[in-house]
Amino acid sequence: MVRAMPDTTLIDEARSRAQGIIALRRAIHAEPELGLMTPRTSAKVRAALAHLPLEWREGPSTSGMIAILKGGAGTNTRNGGRSVLLRGDMDALPMPEETGLPFASTVAGAMHACGHDAHTAMLAGAAELLCARSTSLKGEVRFMFQPGEEGFHGARFMLDDGLLGGGLLDPLPDAAFALHVMPNAPHGIVAGRAGPLLAAADMIEITVEGAGGHASMPHQTRDPVPVACEIVTALQTLVTRQFNAHDPVVITVASINAGSTHNVIPDRAVLRGTMRSLSAENRARLGDSVRLLAVGIAGAHGLTAEVTIEEGFPVTICDSRAVDFGEVTARALFGEQAFLRLADPIMGAEDFAYVLDKVPGAMFFLGVAPQGDNWASCCGIHSTRMMLDEAVLPQGAALLAGLAERFLETGFAA
Ligand SMILES: [Zn+2]
Ligand SMILES: [Zn+2]
């Protein structure tokens, strides 16, 4: 079999810009911001890209920004040209940092432990790469700098603010791509899968209401503790007996709170946990099933249960054409070994799901373990000691730029 040599032009150009990409990443890392408003991070991005011919859009709900680059090859979204969206998230996590890095967080209780600092820097790097090629770009690139990924629905707010388009005169982009770094995946490997990539994640809280009293006379009380325990166990039976093993769901009760001492039966017990699912059908059914089960078990013992479900992100579903396209692009840029098909989804969640619900596209993982290290032993995302090999960041910028450039040229038919 004849294998094409990878086209190294983009990666070479990206490597020549490595210093700028890494400097931006470190500046963002040192000053992490949480939630939907990340003004200092947004300002750093604006300053880094101020010299480029980009059109900027902002909305009222977040500090998110869309930077638009109009290609100069005679096509635009009005005369049949394509548009493509690239997304990087900007927010950090409310947790301490223990990396000991010289550019570690200077904000107590906040850390970029999910790599969003790297995502933003790679996206800014892609903007530089694509601006340098703008005269030959056949269409429009929209760079989405998004805050509020860590549970704040930032992507949905930006969609609702109309920043991604959606009207007749300003249609949604034709494709959308995002990268997520993985510190415990092999150096420089790009990975993805068609269909569900990440799960829907909803929060559950179950309050079992009884009537407390003396621990020696439980018959004079309505003890919520054994009832809560029964619910915890029954939830696991519910998962295996009511849901198809080929369309998995996960329920974890991660917190149980009841009582204050050894000889008092408390009035109530509160369970908190997460529900994960990979299809909209299961997601909808899960909530109803949990409610029925908790209320039923409590009722059977003469107690009551109240179930509150707080909706998190929906399932992240990657378009199979976009994943094929990503695979071809990654191999063309970095060589045959660069792309890995994931056999299974990951039960984590990602608010890029909202974008992929409206626009065909894909999220890919990018392995950022140090070269030659035992990648499996590296600290994963959301660890206080999470680190990444910055040498991979130019590759991420090149991949984002390559996805956009090639999509504008050929659509998904790469
Ligand atoms: Zn995260
Ligand atoms: Zn993340």
Q: Residue 154 is part of a domain; what is its CATH number? A: 3.40.630.10
Closest by CA to 271, choosing from 305, 322, 239, 316, is: 305
Q: How many A from CA of 304 to the centre of ligand 1?
A: 35
C-alpha distances out from residue 263 to 214, 256, 302, Å: 6, 18, 22
Q: How many A from CA of 151 to the centre of ligand 1?
A: 9
Q: How many A from CA of 6 to the centre of ligand 1?
A: 32
Contacts of 331 (CB under 8 A, 6+ apart): 6, 338, 339
Q: How many A from CA of 110 to the centre of ligand 2?
A: 14
| The pLDDT of residue 74 | 66
Residue pair 254/203 in contact (Cβ under 8 Å)? The answer is no
Which ligand ends up closest to the CA of 352? 2
Each residue's pLDDT expressed in tens, for the chain with a length of 414 residues: 445 667 789 999 999 999 999 999 999 999 999 999 999 999 999 999 999 999 999 999 999 999 999 998 766 655 568 999 999 999 999 999 999 999 999 999 999 999 999 999 999 999 999 999 999 999 999 999 999 999 999 999 999 999 999 887 789 999 999 999 999 999 999 999 999 999 999 999 999 999 999 999 999 999 999 999 999 999 999 999 999 999 999 999 999 999 999 999 999 999 999 999 999 999 999 999 999 999 999 999 999 999 999 999 999 999 999 999 999 999 999 999 999 999 999 999 999 999 999 999 999 999 999 988 788 888 999 999 999 999 999 999 999 999 999 999 999 986
If asked whether residues 222 and 358 sit together in one domain, one would say: no
Point out the domain boundary residue: 262, 285, 310: 310
| The pLDDT of residue 79 | 58
Closest by CA to 315, choosing from 385, 369, 245, 363, is: 363
Closest by CA to 392, choosing from 400, 403, 384, 404, is: 400
Q: How many A from CA of 147 to the centre of ligand 2?
A: 11
Which ligand ends up closest to the CA of 94? 1
If asked whether residues 249 and 333 sit together in one domain, one would say: no
- Does 361 map to a domain? yes
- Does 145 map to a domain? yes
| The pLDDT of residue 3 | 55
If asked whether residues 73 and 21 sit together in one domain, one would say: yes
3-state class of 89 per DSSP? strand
Q: How many A from CA of 119 to the centre of ligand 2?
A: 9
- Does 30 map to a domain? yes
Q: How many A from CA of 135 to the centre of ligand 1?
A: 36
135: DSSP letter? G
If asked whether residues 150 and 172 sit together in one domain, one would say: yes
Q: How many A from CA of 401 to the centre of ligand 1?
A: 23
Q: How many A from CA of 232 to the centre of ligand 2?
A: 29
- Does 106 map to a domain? yes
Q: How many A from CA of 267 to the centre of ligand 1?
A: 36
Q: How many A from CA of 351 to the centre of ligand 2?
A: 9
Which ligand ends up closest to the CA of 180? 2
Q: How many A from CA of 225 to the centre of ligand 1?
A: 33
Closest by CA to 393, choosing from 188, 178, 167, 205, is: 188
Which ligand ends up closest to the CA of 111? 1
Q: Residue 135: exposed, middle, or buried by beta-carbon count in 10 A (0-12, 13-18, 19+)?
A: exposed
173: DSSP letter? P
If asked whether residues 49 and 126 sit together in one domain, one would say: yes
| The pLDDT of residue 75 | 63
If asked whether residues 74 and 13 sit together in one domain, one would say: yes
Per the structure, the count of domains in the chain is 2
Which ligand ends up closest to the CA of 381? 1
- Does 3 map to a domain? no
Point out the domain boundary residue: 269, 289, 310: 310
Answer positive or negative: Cα dihedral of 72, 76, 81, 83. Answer: positive
If asked whether residues 108 and 256 sit together in one domain, one would say: no
Report, in angstroms and rounded to the nearest whole number, the Rg of the chain calculated over CA atoms: 24
Which ligand ends up closest to the CA of 119? 2
- Does 4 map to a domain? no
If asked whether residues 22 and 161 sit together in one domain, one would say: yes
If asked whether residues 29 and 68 sit together in one domain, one would say: yes
Q: How many A from CA of 383 to the centre of ligand 1?
A: 10
If asked whether residues 262 and 301 sit together in one domain, one would say: yes
Which ligand ends up closest to the CA of 182? 2
Closest by CA to 309, choosing from 236, 200, 205, is: 205
- Does 1 map to a domain? no
Closest by CA to 393, choosing from 125, 162, 147, 200, is: 125
Point out the domain boundary residue: 250, 276, 310: 310
- Does 367 map to a domain? yes
Q: How many A from CA of 124 to the centre of ligand 2?
A: 17
Which ligand ends up closest to the CA of 117? 2
Domain that holds residue 320: 9-197+315-410
If asked whether residues 355 and 211 sit together in one domain, one would say: no
| The pLDDT of residue 1 | 47
CATH number of the domain that residue 211 is part of: 3.30.70.360
Q: How many A from CA of 205 to the centre of ligand 2?
A: 24
If asked whether residues 48 and 190 sit together in one domain, one would say: yes
